[in-house]
Structure 1
Amino acid sequence: MNPTAPTGAARIDTQHRIDRVREQLAVNGWNGLVVLDAADVRWLTGLESSNAAVVVTSTATVVATDFRYVAEAESLGLQVAKIEQSMWTDLGRVAGELAAGGSLAYPPAGLSHRAFLQFTDTLPDSVQLRAADGVVAKLRVVKDAPEVEKIRRAAALLEGAYDMVASMGLEGRTEGDVAWAIEKHLREAGASALSFESIVAGGTNGAYPHHHPKGDVIPADTLVTVDIGCIVDGYCSDCTRTFAVGDPGPELRAAYDLTLRAQEASLAAVKPGAHGAEVDAVARDIISDAGHGDHFGHGLGHGVGMEIHEAPRLSRTSEDVLEAGMIVTVEPGVYLPGVGGVRIEDLVVVTDTGHEVFTNYTKQLVQA
């Protein structure tokens, strides 16, 4: 089996990914692995579906899905088991046949109690289940060259969106209007969708890290945090810049300068072998030493790929170690209740010698 994307899309050979899963089968002594997560299914097969599972053995890779996706799966060159009764009942039958009386690894986090009962009801008694969450997700952490290029392209679109924001004149506009203008720009520039709902947080709303833009009018003499991302060929980007509207005053200017200093210092710490907790500490210590430790309450960053939040994590509790090919955000912030906030975020890929920044819009405080 050598699945590729359908005609008209970029051709993606996923056989090497299936081979990596088979290596895990051999290492763990499993006859088969059931894959349920939608992003994992897409990474392994190229199939984007709301109702599909994959069973991988040493000799077969079978996609179980319903009528809506059968033709598309077959066009990708996949071996398909059509769901006739229910996903879990039919999946148990298919997985049981493929496991051939041996051990079958499955992700318990992906199954409700009811689904588990239906799944196991049709499994032969000779199959031994092995709980194994995150098998494919761990393989997705290090991106291959085509994945890196797609994320680079998605990130490149954000610079034009920020140029547009800077030229809009934000004072008197609603946050929702600005968010809509960003989405329209990104889609017209070639994005298939947003990575997440754009965050536009003006004035005191900037103190809320994940503020949802609504009808609030952006006032004069403040800061506006704009956190955006888009999807290109199934891969996400993520970036944050904070803009000035008039004179934000000394307190917010100081918060901006502090955040920028912390961001650039922690960015410099991103390299192979660095621990996620250590990189986080670089930014956190700078912000804490300035008296704002309580105003930076989230992790420094996260992985980005097919999903907007993936491993590895840059946080106080992270045990992740950075490797070349991992893509992470670096996004410290200072959030001042009742005053406003600042966040500055770049998207970077870890390289053999350090890192490369994908998001190159200026980090100097821009008037918008």
Structure 2
Amino acid sequence: MDQALIAGKVEQAHAAVAQSDADCWITFCRETDEVHEPCLPYVLGFDVVWPTAVVVGPEKSAVVLGRHDAPNAERLGVHDVYPYDESFMPPLEKALETVAADAGTIAINFDLDDNVADGLTHGLYLRLRDAVGDDYDFVSAGDIVREVRGLKSPTERERIYAAAETTEELLAAMVDAWAPSWTESQIVIWMHERMTDRGLGSAWSWEYCPTVHAGGASEVGHTLPGDLEVPENELLHVDFGVRRDGYSADIQRLYVRGDVPDGLQSAFEDVRAAIDAGREVLRAGVRGHEVDAAAREALTDAGWPAFDHAFGHQVGRAAHDGGTLLGPLWDRYGDAPRGDVRVGEIYTMELGVDTEWGYVGQEEMVEITDEGTEWIVDPQTELRSL
């Protein structure tokens, strides 16, 4: 358990609840090894078996959980602990009285658009509704979760920077070891072996991380590695991020085998210019869709088709960390692109174009500061050689 980190995030949660329209925030979950609850690493830090409620108010917090899980909560030393054997309902009533007496509105862990705030199953929603009765109104905890998860603490920031630096180190080591006979699959195997040796996780599904595309014949997208080698004068595109100490990175890099064709160089410069155009707009206070629009316009003005995804997303414990999205106002993204960018959040900026030499995809990571943005690691400003 990461006691210091969790204590800091719970303090953030107290402030977020105080600023919200809710009287308290309940994260309700069970069997979390099977059904993951995205908020639990921030407010409790370990998996639970029986129905469990973490109740956070403006000043106090409590956890209601099975007696066999209770010692872990006691050792955490962050919440008042209410263990139970037969029913969670009586201790939940006590926890609510302690944390938010006379509460009328409870924020719970569901959200229409934000996957990291939407861990509550429908069955548990019904159980919680029965447990607290009709005296409380339920609202989404999405805004509270976005505050707690999006605004990175110093410890979180340090871990994300370290994950990004480690990602770059492994990419550089792979290029040093690379041989022309290596296929996409062999590149992935080499990376996975080094990650395993160092005890590193992947920022997304292991099978797809890294995602590797060798040359113009490779199918673009979140694809499994195949048997393609990198042809002469074509690209190796790698989308990669490690998870280190619970926090992730998400970076895309490009390498050329041999000479750089003029058209490839031009495509790379157009991609870089579009990313820079988005970064010029990216600052605290702007809406996510405004950033996406700037990058999208720069790319299409250069004669390329618009990319079919969001320009950027937040990074934290997961590569796609929820909250405000730097994306277009498309139905599939809901209200996420309407959110405000805030100081302390960390975003990717990513886009690319498909060419005869391969996918020219770039992805950088930045932290939002009072002055604008700060690179997490140095950006790729020129094509690199294999």
User: Per the shorter chain, which TM-score range?
Assistant: 0.7 to 0.9
Seen in structure 2, the aligned counterparts of structure 1 residues 201 and 73 have a Cα distance that, compared at 3 Å, is farther
Question: Matched residue of 2:39: which SS?
Answer: helix
Supply the RMSD in Å over aligned alpha carbons: 2.9
Matched, 1:300 2:311: yes
CA–CA separation in structure 1 for the residues paired with 2:18 and 2:340: 25
Letter in 2 for 1:220: P
Match of 2:385 in 1: 367
Match of 1:326 in 2: 345
Contact 1:70 1:82 survives alignment (8 Å): yes
Question: Matched residue of 1:12: which SS?
Answer: helix
Contact 1:38 1:48 survives alignment (8 Å): no
Q: Which moved more, 1:17-26 or 1:284-293?
A: 17-26
Match of 1:220 in 2: 231
Seen in structure 2, the aligned counterparts of structure 1 residues 205 and 62 have a Cα distance that, compared at 3 Å, is farther
Residue-by-residue CA offset, 1:64-100 (whole Å, 9 max, x unaligned): 4456744333221144344645xxx63x554333334
Question: Matched residue of 1:38: which SS?
Answer: coil
Contact 1:276 1:321 survives alignment (8 Å): yes
Match of 1:106 in 2: 108
Seen in structure 2, the aligned counterparts of structure 1 residues 28 and 168 have a Cα distance that, compared at 3 Å, is closer
Seen in structure 2, the aligned counterparts of structure 1 residues 162 and 30 have a Cα distance that, compared at 3 Å, is closer
Match of 2:32 in 1: none
Contact 1:198 1:229 survives alignment (8 Å): yes
CA–CA separation in structure 2 for the residues paired with 1:39 and 1:199: 24
Matched, 1:174 2:183: yes
Letter in 2 for 1:335: D
Contact 2:346 2:366 survives alignment (8 Å): yes
Q: Which moved more, 1:170-179 or 1:231-240?
A: 170-179
Question: Matched residue of 1:272: which SS?
Answer: coil
Structure 1, unaligned stretches of length 5 or more? none
Contact 2:64 2:95 survives alignment (8 Å): no
Seen in structure 2, the aligned counterparts of structure 1 residues 239 and 114 have a Cα distance that, compared at 3 Å, is same
Question: Matched residue of 1:105: which SS?
Answer: strand
Residue-by-residue CA offset, 1:259-300 (whole Å, 9 max, x unaligned): 122223333433333432232223212210122124x21111
- 1:203 is displaced (CA, Å) by 2.1
Count of aligned pairs between the two proteins: 350
Question: Matched residue of 2:5: which SS?
Answer: coil
- 1:138 is displaced (CA, Å) by 1.5
Alignment of 1:10-159 (within 5 A): 11-12=4-5, 14-15=7-8, 17-28=9-20, 30-36=22-28, 38-45=37-44, 47-49=45-47, 53-58=53-58, 60-66=60-66, 69-77=69-77, 78-82=79-83, 84=85, 90=88, 92-100=89-97, 102-103=103-104, 104-108=106-110, 109-125=118-134, 127-139=135-147, 140-159=149-168
CA–CA separation in structure 1 for the residues paired with 2:319 and 2:53: 21
Question: Matched residue of 1:293: which SS?
Answer: coil
CA–CA separation in structure 1 for the residues paired with 2:218 and 2:309: 14
Seen in structure 2, the aligned counterparts of structure 1 residues 273 and 74 have a Cα distance that, compared at 3 Å, is same
Contact 2:271 2:299 survives alignment (8 Å): yes
Letter in 1 for 2:109: P
CA–CA separation in structure 2 for the residues paired with 1:121 and 1:128: 11
Residue-by-residue CA offset, 1:216-259 (whole Å, 9 max, x unaligned): 22231321211111122221111110111234644444322321
- 1:178 is displaced (CA, Å) by 1.1
- 1:348 is displaced (CA, Å) by 0.9
- Identity over aligned pairs, percent: 24
